Amino acid sequence: MREKIPIESLTLGMYVDGFDKSWFTTPFLKHKFLVKTTEQIERLKNSGVKTLFIETSKGIKIISGDQDDEINIVEQPQIIDDTPKDAKVKTDFKHYNELKETLFEIDRNVFTKGSKIDFELTRKMGLEIETIAPYEDTEIEIDENIMSAKNELLIRRKDIEKYRKYLEKIFNQRKNDEESINFNSTIVRENSKIAIKEIFDDPRNSHTIDKSSKIVLQILNGILDNSLAVSSLLSVNKFDYYLYTHSVNVCVLSIGIALNLGIKDTAALFQLAMGALLHDIGKSTISSDILNRPTSRLSELELSIFKQHVSESENLLRLFADVPEGVFPAITEHHEKLSGKGYPRGLKENELHISGKIVALVNYYDDLTTERPYKKIVKPYEALSMIQEQSDHYDKRIFSELIKLLGRT
């Protein structure tokens, strides 16, 4: 039965069957859906919905007695959600994606129990994002609950500078710890992520190359003099795709493989590392709605837009006259394959630069082992098996060195 109710009476488990507002003025793609989260209710209220219809045969209903009586919620035998799956995915993802763009992913390992922060902490589980440590003008003490919180931690983008200052303070306090190499690597990685985020937010800034060079030199020199550990420079538990995290991972793994291959020329290493770090800078010109979905969920048009990030990356870096030419193979070839079945130019094995071959493999591996909405994470050994099955696409020697490198991390 279809019943009209005030928005104040809407509760979890009800099946919405229409609003008192136009479809165009609400944040929902469908006006018929099962209410599963309190967030859905809040979004309805915030969009100005005053009254709505519920279908009691598909969800719970309200039975009210006299006006002064308490409202009783009666559950139906079965709740049927017949909202088209794709419609729900698009609705939830759209809101999630908008919220995700206001956040920045951090590593809980930088926190020391008993230390204090002056910014809010948020936790993400799937498409659900919740605040676990609200900041209300009083410093938050890092306790066991925060240290052991499951899933990934995030902060508000507006608090990134506060997070940077915390990293500096905690680094100065712990730089002489017995585990200083691993901890120093974690701090370098977090600062590198911040810098990459700033670069990708404003890729045409005149300081882009200077910032990139500083990151590359710090990572490269640290690995060469053994003051930074490759394993600690990597973000291992990747519950979602963040461009800045992916870029640092690809840079670190590319350096490690190059060194294993016997590449010792510092200029060649620097140019490879720079290209690896900035290989996806062109994605800064593409909608986050496209970037944050796996390519299997993109339409043909969206996929063609996505593939343009390779040429966009090159175009952006060509704006800077001081970028060495040796940086570009990693940029232009990171989606090419030895078989000639890659893009954008379909180059084959003998046409590819060693930097392009390295970054292409590392980029694919990191993508495989990164979870996304609607795409479960692939474990490292599973990813390596998948790559091995595509041996005609990737360089066997580089693949062998990747396995060795991962075995030491």
| pLDDT for residue 26 is more than 80 | no
Quote the tokens at residue 390: 């595509």
Contacts within 8 Å (CB) and 24+ apart, 202-210: 203/281, 203/284, 203/316, 204/316, 204/319, 208/320, 209/320, 209/322, 209/323
The per-residue pLDDT for 31 is 65
Q: Tell me if residue 242 falls in helix, strand or coil.
A: coil
The per-residue pLDDT for 114 is 92
Task: List the one residue out of 74, 32, 27 whose CA is nearest residue 53.
Answer: 32
Across residues 388-407, what is the average pLDDT? 94
Q: Tell me if residue 209 falls in helix, strand or coil.
A: helix
Q: Tell me if residue 155 falls in helix, strand or coil.
A: strand
pLDDT tier for residue 217 given thresholds of 50, 70 and 90: very high
Across residues 206-211, what is the average pLDDT? 92
* CB-CB contact of 371 with 383 (8 Å): no
pLDDT tier for residue 241 given thresholds of 50, 70 and 90: confident
Q: What's the predicted TM-score (pTM) here?
A: 0.76
Helices within 261-376 (DSSP H only): 266-277, 288-291, 300-307, 309-317, 328-332, 354-368
The per-residue pLDDT for 67 is 36
Average pLDDT of the chain is: 85
The per-residue pLDDT for 294 is 76
Task: For each of the domains in the chain, give its residue range(s) and CATH number, in order of start.
Answer: 2-83 (no CATH), 84-159 (no CATH), 175-407 (1.10.3210.10)
Task: For 37-58, write each residue's pLDDT tens digit.
Answer: 777 788 788 878 888 888 887 7
The per-residue pLDDT for 62 is 57
CA distances from 392 to 216, 221, 336, 337 (A): 31, 34, 12, 8
* Buried/exposed 168-194: b ≥16 CB within 10 Å, e otherwise: eebbeebeeeeeeebbbbbbbbbbbbb
Quote the tokens at residue 282: 């062109």
Name residue, tokens 């003008």. 137
Helices within 70-207 (DSSP H only): 85-100, 144-147, 160-174, 180-201
Cis peptide bond upstream of 344, omega within 30:
yes
The per-residue pLDDT for 94 is 76
Number of Cβ within a 10 Å radius of residue 38: 10
Name residue, tokens 């926190």. 111
Task: List the one residue out of 400, 386, 365, 355 whose CA is nearest residue 254.
Answer: 355
Quote the tokens at residue 3: 């019943």
Task: For 306-354, write each residue's pLDDT tens digit.
Answer: 999 999 999 999 999 999 999 999 999 999 999 999 999 999 999 999 9
Task: For 76-116, write each residue's pLDDT tens digit.
Answer: 334 344 434 444 445 467 777 788 889 999 998 899 889 99
Torsions phi, psi for 53 (to 5 deg): -110, 145
HSE value, Cβ hemisphere, 13 Å, CA-based, for 223: 27
- Cα 21 from Cα 44, distance rounded (Å): 10
- Cα 405 from Cα 318, distance rounded (Å): 32
* CB-CB contact of 199 with 208 (8 Å): yes
For the chain, the straight-line distance linking the first and the last C-alpha, in angstroms and rounded, comes to: 60
